[in-house]
Amino acid sequence: MATITGYPFITHLRTPATTYVQHLAHGDLKHEGVGASFWFRRLPAVLSEVPVDDREQPVLVKVRASDLQEVNVPGVVTYRIAQPATAAERVDFGIDVRSGIWLARPLEVVGATVHGAAADAVTAALTGRPLAQILMSDPAQLAAQVRERLVADPRLADVGIAVVGIRFDVLRADPDVERALQLPSREQIQQEADKATFERRAVAVEREAAIGDNELTNQIELARRQEELIAQRGANAVREARDTADADRVAVAAEGERTTALARASAEATQAMGVAEAEARQAMGAADAEAERARLAAHAGVAPEVLMAMAMAELARNLPQIDQLVLTPDVVSSVLARLAGQTGEG
């Protein structure tokens, strides 16, 4: 946008480097150029300001396919005014001599021109194709075709517009048609997903079966080992019982022999002791008889009074202790009579 500074009887204008300005006075060209700066008088002056920088114009084109379906083609056209003097002659770029603001809306006019040319180029490039082919068109290739048509379009050349570039987004049909077109692909994708799911489940089932077989094999092997262990333990128990029985038989035999030997030795010892005891008793009996005979022989020539005295002495030795003894003549006489009678019998 130009900067206009007013002074008494004269005015100064200054423009940026991306703007072309044109100054006419009384129909004659006084000043022009990009980034121009000059003095002018307001009353006869006619000023035009044309931007020469790159600008973007959104476009949305609806194309009818050969199967009577509509396709939306969104894109952006990048352009610039390459011939600003020509554009100033064809489009009203006039500005106010006091504020520098456009008196009309020239950029809308230029944008409409670009949009119309782009719509015609897109329609010419896609008309006659079926819907599926249009939707599968390469955006870059379509952009090259449209740009080639825009460069050759006389409407843009007459305004001095040069196309810098063009790009398109994804081409889309109506929502209902697009959903209908997407349905086969979605069904195919769903089928692929279901197939992958079934395959995954099949693999999982196979793995579970393999795990089950492995567990069964392990259980069978474990049972076999347990059976072998039980058999080995039984064999060991039988062997141990047999060894114990043999040891018991040997111990019983040894104990029997030892008991027999002890019984035999005890019997022999008892017999020897019986013989010795009998002999001893016989010897003692003989000795007692011999002593009794000797005692009787010794008493044979003794007087009765002496025998009485000896008998009394023997009686005194065999009687318990007596503190006092009273003997009456009758008692003494009776005792002496008994003793004398016994002695006579002997």
What's the CA gap between 251 and 245, in Å, rounded?
Answer: 10
Residue appearing with tokens 């929502």: 175
Question: Could you count the other beta carbons within 10 Å of the beta carbon of residue 14?
Answer: 14
Note the pLDDT of residue 34: 94
pTM exceeds 0.95 for this model:
no
- Each residue's pLDDT expressed in tens, for the chain with a length of 346 residues: 889 998 988 999 999 999 999 999 988 999 999 999 999 999 999 999 999 999 999 999 998 888 888 889 999 999 999 999 999 999 999 999 989 899 999 999 999 999 999 999 999 999 888 888 888 888 999 999 999 999 999 999 999 999 999 999 888 887 777 777 777 878 888 888 888 888 889 888 889 888 988 889 898 999 989 988 998 988 898 888 888 888 888 887 878 788 787 878 777 777 777 777 777 778 787 777 777 777 766 666 666 666 677 767 666 666 666 566 666 777 667 767 776 665 555 5
- Please provide the CATH number assigned to the domain covering 3-173: 3.30.479.30
Nearest residue to 30 (alpha-carbon basis) of 19, 18, 46: 46
Find out whether 53 and 20 touch, Cβ atoms under 8 Å: no
Note the pLDDT of residue 59: 94
On the 0-12 / 13-18 / 19+ scale of CB atoms within 10 A, 23 is buried
Nearest residue to 4 (alpha-carbon basis) of 34, 42, 55: 42
The DSSP bridge pattern shows strands 70-81 and 55-64 to be: antiparallel
Note the pLDDT of residue 173: 81
Note the pLDDT of residue 271: 79
Note the pLDDT of residue 278: 76
What's the CA gap between 41 and 47, in Å, rounded?
Answer: 11
- Helix/strand/coil for 11: strand
What's the CA gap between 70 and 37, in Å, rounded?
Answer: 52
Residue appearing with tokens 């005890």: 266
Note the pLDDT of residue 283: 78
What's the CA gap between 81 and 55, in Å, rounded?
Answer: 9
Q: How is the chain split into domains, by residue range?
A: 3-173, 192-295
Distance of CA 129 to the CA centre of its chain: 57
Q: At what angle do helices 304-318 and 329-345 cross, to 10 degrees?
A: 110
User: Which amino acid is it at 193?
Assistant: A
What's the CA gap between 94 and 100, in Å, rounded?
Answer: 9
Note the pLDDT of residue 343: 53
Report which DSSP code applies to 53.
S
Between the CA of residue 94 and those of 51, 89, 312, 319, what are the distances in Å?
12, 10, 196, 186
On the 0-12 / 13-18 / 19+ scale of CB atoms within 10 A, 168 is buried
Question: In the structure encoding, which two tokens stand for residue 118, read together?
Answer: 């782009």
Q: Strand pairing partners for 176?
A: none
What's the CA gap between 19 and 90, in Å, rounded?
Answer: 17
Note the pLDDT of residue 318: 66
